[in-house]
Amino acid sequence: MGNFDKIVNLCKSRGIIFPGSDIYDGLANTWDYGPVGVELKNNIKRAWWKTFVQKSENSFGIDADIFMNSKVWDASGHTASFSDPKMDCKSCKTRHRADNLIEADSKGSVNPDTMTNEQMEAYIKEHHVCCPKCGKCDWTPIRNFNLMFSTSRGVTDEGQNLIYLRPETAQGEFVNFLNVQRSMRAKVPFGIAQIGKAFRNEVTPGNFTFRTIEFEQMEHQWFCRADESMKYYNEFKQKAYDFLLSLGFNPEHLRFHDHDKLAHYAKAACDIQYLYPIGWEELNGIHHRGDWDLSRHQEFSGKSMLYLDPYTNEKYIPNVVEYSIGADRLTLAVLCEAYDEEKLSDGETRVVMHFHPSIAPYKVAVLPLQKNLSDKAREVYKILSNYFMVSYDEAGSIGKRYRRQDEIGTPMCVTIDFDTLNDNTVTIRDRDTMEQIRLTINELVDYIIKKVAY
């Protein structure tokens, strides 16, 4: 946990992530991205979009509304059964997830997903699982709480209708299946992707942004024939894994975790887990969902979801392979993966975030060696900021300024010195190697573009 606390502190002090509603002592499990963090998260989202939409010939992006007709959630099963098994500690009144308590107690050797509420209660009693907060073992029975946030629509009380803040983005892709297919003249197999907010009324044990009540999902649904669905399921497992490697993840920090317990309609499901400082945890999921989602929407909406295959004239409801990853959970993994404390030859330690240059919040910093070089430095800033996010800093010793940029993972620092005034050359320092080379100002843009390409 050592590094986790340091990362949380760095995030706050360097404008990456702040506690939500900070001046009011916060609101549990809400976080705000600061000026540096918003760049990082946007770059991660762009890299995902590039991989799964831009470079994927048969995939199409959408941006569906957060609010959907409540029947959507009846069809998806969320109104009936999207809940966590929760129990309250009678002594300190905190609420906990029974499955999480069992997982922690058994150190992962027992899988609570395969247990009924009665079996979980029996386990907790038998193993004297106590409250992690106060240490007492005095629990209420398990109750299932629906995780969806609801609100009401309508100006007057009489006109109120219950509506939900979506708990996942996937339903936007399912209900738009035929809209996208027809408008884009798409042929099965094809994909629909979107990035957007989702909301879940979860009890969480902290752990920074790992599990929050408001978060962003990046989801991709691949619609395909049933007889090809397992092939695509395996392809998506690989694609999801390769995407993480492309962001610079160490393969030793990633592993597949196949699900033992499958939903009744599912043929296969797995997570990719990341070795967070809190242990191995789910980073994303790949789910083979059969034709469950489209069939349910056909049943509940009364509208046909049949696809007419133009080659075979067959009519069928396609199968779906879903790939789903939390943008915030991925951003947290990227932060953990990038964090490094490096011992230098002079005995000092520098904190450096080794972000892949393509997702680094700022690509380059412009640093005049002295304040009286700021006119020239601002000229350089103006040129570079046409192309990249550029940090400009003229306060403090050059060494301290390099350290600040290392801490937010800026891959390159451009230093303006007195020679710049004579020959238009600058020094460019590499974050990882700390090596410096000299380039002319005219060469800078092309040089940086190559370094930060994704």
Instruction: Please give the residue ranges that form the binding site for ligand ATP (CB under 6 A).
Output: 168, 200, 202, 211-212, 215, 217, 282-285, 324-326, 328-329
Other C-beta atoms closer than 10 Å to the C-beta of 150 total: 13
Give 110 or 398: the residue with its C-beta nearer to ligand ATP. 110
Give 168 or 393: the residue with its C-beta nearer to ligand ATP. 168
Give 292 or 402: the residue with its C-beta nearer to ligand ATP. 292
Q: Supply the minimum distance, in Å, between the C-beta of residue 172 and ligand ATP.
A: 14
Tokens of residue 192, six digits: 């629909």
What H or E segment, with its residue span, contains residue 391? strand 390-392
Give 18 or 149: the residue with its C-beta nearer to ligand ATP. 149
Give 98 or 325: the residue with its C-beta nearer to ligand ATP. 325
Q: Would you list the DSSP string of 305-353? A: --EE-TTT--EEPPEEEEEEEEHHHHHHHHHHHHEEEEE-TTS-EEEEE
Secondary structure of residue 19 in the 3-state scheme: strand
Give 270 or 413: the residue with its C-beta nearer to ligand ATP. 270
The pairing of beta strand 390-392 with beta strand 412-416: unpaired
Give 288 or 431: the residue with its C-beta nearer to ligand ATP. 288
Secondary structure of residue 129 in the 3-state scheme: coil
Nearest by Cα to 287 from 264, 267, 309, 316: 267
Nearest by Cα to 393 from 6, 343, 406, 419: 406
Secondary structure of residue 193 in the 3-state scheme: strand
Q: Supply the minimum distance, in Å, between the C-beta of residue 199 and ligand ATP.
A: 9
In order of 16, 27, 215, 372, 445, the CA distances from 23 in angstroms are: 17, 10, 21, 38, 41
Q: Which residue is nearest to ligand ATP (CB)?
A: 326
What is the phi/psi pair of residue 391, to 5°? -100, 135
Q: Supply the minimum distance, in Å, between the C-beta of residue 259 and ligand ATP.
A: 9
Cα within 13 Å of Cα(437), Cβ side: 10
Give 169 or 415: the residue with its C-beta nearer to ligand ATP. 169
Q: Supply the minimum distance, in Å, between the C-beta of residue 200 and ligand ATP.
A: 5
Contact 336, 384 (CB under 8 A): no
Q: Supply the minimum distance, in Å, between the C-beta of residue 214 and ligand ATP.
A: 8
Give 79 or 91: the residue with its C-beta nearer to ligand ATP. 79
Give 212 or 391: the residue with its C-beta nearer to ligand ATP. 212
Q: Supply the minimum distance, in Å, between the C-beta of residue 133 and ligand ATP.
A: 20
Contact 228, 342 (CB under 8 A): no
Q: Supply the minimum distance, in Å, between the C-beta of residue 393 and ligand ATP.
A: 33
- Amino acid residing at 302: G
Contact 195, 203 (CB under 8 A): no
Q: Supply the minimum distance, in Å, between the C-beta of residue 368 and ligand ATP.
A: 41
Q: Supply the minimum distance, in Å, between the C-beta of residue 322 and ligand ATP.
A: 8
Task: For Cα atoms 300, 306, 308, give the angle at the middle one, nearest 5 degrees.
Answer: 170
d(CA 269, CA 235): 13
Q: Supply the minimum distance, in Å, between the C-beta of residue 1 and ligand ATP.
A: 19
